[in-house]
């Protein structure tokens, strides 16, 4: 690889916590690697690029991000190469850098140059390579994020920002097929809002209705449009796809629709399906169409796509108090084929003929 050019200062931890981790039992998002990457935006430019020991931030009580919500983030994963244990593979990180900047633009935040994102990520993973698990179903989850850093209670975009990358070894997000409830009372976002951006506030607003659904025995929600609650959009942790007979149906994302997050996993799945000759329709999905297809058996399967879940099969759909079970189909499921292919690429077992894999 070409030599990295940015001046990134590195301060190594005095004591690694790696030997305290049980990689056969990793809870999602609770264990963090030894180091983090930081950069500050002030005086109109990004500066002070550094890797330091993972630790707490010191925050002013008037921090703008706390009061007015200028906070965005990304999620991606690093995998141990099964063919070469010394190599780490990251899935489509440049796309995460681009999506971070799309979110930044919507939230009136400065864009981050791609080379800062990529070189900071590279050096951080290179330093903490030992934290990338090699146990079945595991990976190193990578969380880049940016927040407003002004200490000011006036309502305006901040003049200063902090960008950071932290990492966390994780296991499987959903170990079983998920039960989802079609949400028709609350809304995640609306036309003209921030639905297409990975904004912290989107997730805060989703927690209460998700909690109500979990009390009813569901794992997640299927969000519907805010205007009429007649069309399925996405789930809380993933985009969704439905196989109706021989066609995959999924809701459109930007630029056609601005209410749904443009999942990088979803984009990858759609490209693979095109290569395989599978018929795909990106269009509005009426709730009633999915209910009818479930009842008459034409819904062959439903599944979620996302970084955390990769591919998550859906087993049940709740609608207006009725629990609909998706019938099992004979033979190999399309979602299984997709998952095996994607994970094979991510772990170096399937040839990357797409240029999706970044190697460290």
Res 343: pLDDT: 95
Helix (H, G, I), strand (E, B) or coil at 300: strand
Q: Which CATH architecture has domain 178-329?
A: Alpha-Beta Barrel (3.20)
State the Cα angle at 164 between 207 and 122, rounded to 5°: 120
Res 270: pLDDT: 97
Res 175: pLDDT: 81
Give me the CATH code for the 9-172+349-359 domain, please.
Answer: 3.30.470.10
Per DSSP (E only), the strands in 237-298 are 239-244, 247-250, 279-282, 285-286
Q: Of 247, 353, 243, nearest to 300 (Cα)?
A: 243
Residue 77's CB is within 10 A of a number of other CB atoms, namely 22
List all residues 6 or more positions away from 304 whose beta carbon is below 8 Å from its beta carbon: 178, 220, 235, 237, 238, 239, 240, 241, 311, 312, 314
Query: pLDDT exceeding 90 applies to what percent of the chain?
Result: 90
| Residue 240 near residue 222, CB atoms below 8 Å | yes
Mean pLDDT, the chain, integer? 95
Q: pLDDT tens across 42-85, in order?
A: 999 999 999 999 999 999 999 999 999 999 999 999 999 999 99
Phi, psi torsion values for 177, nearest 5 degrees: -55, 145
Q: pLDDT tens across 29-47, in order?
A: 899 999 999 999 999 999 9
Please compute the mean of the pLDDT values over residues 221-233 and round it to a whole number. 97
pLDDT bucket at 137, cuts 50 / 70 / 90:
confident
- Kindly calculate the radius of gyration of the chain based on its CA atoms and give it in whole angstroms: 21
Q: Give the domain ranges of the chain.
A: 9-172+349-359, 178-329
Please compute the mean of the pLDDT values over residues 311-318 and round it to a whole number. 96
Burial of 157 (0-12, 13-18, 19+ CB in 10 A): middle
Res 328: pLDDT: 85
Q: pLDDT tens across 261-300, in order?
A: 999 999 999 999 999 999 999 999 999 999 999 999 999 9
More confident residue, 236 or 147: 147
Res 1: pLDDT: 38
Per DSSP (E only), the strands in 43-84 are 45-53, 71-73, 76-80
Can you tell me the distance from the alpha carbon of 210 to that of 236, in angstroms, rounded to the nearest whole number?
Answer: 8
Q: pLDDT tens across 167-176, in order?
A: 999 998 888 8
Res 237: pLDDT: 83
Q: pLDDT tens across 101-116, in order?
A: 999 999 999 999 999 9
Q: Please determine, for residue 2, whether its predicted confidence score (pLDDT) is greater than 70.
A: no
Q: Please determine, for residue 148, whether its predicted confidence score (pLDDT) is greater than 70.
A: yes
Calculate the alpha carbon distances from 46 to 4, 116, 156, 163 in Å: 17, 9, 20, 9
Res 188: pLDDT: 92
Res 225: pLDDT: 97
């Amino acid at each position: 690889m070409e030599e990295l050019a940015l001046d990134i200062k590195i301060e190594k931890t005095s004591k690694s916590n790696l030997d305290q981790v049980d990689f056969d039992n990793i809870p999602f998002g609770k264990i963090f690697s030894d180091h983090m990457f930081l950069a500050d935006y002030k005086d109109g430019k990004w500066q002070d690029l550094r890797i330091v020991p993972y630790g707490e931030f010191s925050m002013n009580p008037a921090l703008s991000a706390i009061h007015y919500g200028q906070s965005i983030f990304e999620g991606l994963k690093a995998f141990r190469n099964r063919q070469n244990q010394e190599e780490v593979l990251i899935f489509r990180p440049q796309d995460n850098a681009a999506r971070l900047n799309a979110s930044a633009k919507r939230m009136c935040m400065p864009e981050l140059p791609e080379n800062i994102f990529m070189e900071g990520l590279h050096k951080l993973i290179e330093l903490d390579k030992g934290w990338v698990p090699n146990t079945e179903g595991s990976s190193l989850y990578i969380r880049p994020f940016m927040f407003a850093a002004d200490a000011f209670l006036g309502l305006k975009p901040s003049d200063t920002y902090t960008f950071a990358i932290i990492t966390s070894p994780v296991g499987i997000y959903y170990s079983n097929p998920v039960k989802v409830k079609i949400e028709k009372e609350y809304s995640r976002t609306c036309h003209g809002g921030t639905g297409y951006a990975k904004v912290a506030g989107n997730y805060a607003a989703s927690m209460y209705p998700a909690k109500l659904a979990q009390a009813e025995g569901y794992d997640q929600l299927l969000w519907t449009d805010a205007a009429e609650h007649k069309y399925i959009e996405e789930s809380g942790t993933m985009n969704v796809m439905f196989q109706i007979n021989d066609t995959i149906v999924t809701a459109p994302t930007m630029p056609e629709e601005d209410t749904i997050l443009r999942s990088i996993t979803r984009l990858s799945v759609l490209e693979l399906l095109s290569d395989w000759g599978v018929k795909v329709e990106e269009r509005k999905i009426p709730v009633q169409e999915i209910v009818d297809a479930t009842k008459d058996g034409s819904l062959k399967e439903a599944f979620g796509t996302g970084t955390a879940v990769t591919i998550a099969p859906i087993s049940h759909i709740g609608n207006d108090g009725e629990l609909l079970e998706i019938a099992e189909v004979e033979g190999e499921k399309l979602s299984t084929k997709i998952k095996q292919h994607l994970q094979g690429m991510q772990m170096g077992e399937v040839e990357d003929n797409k240029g999706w894999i970044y190697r460290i």
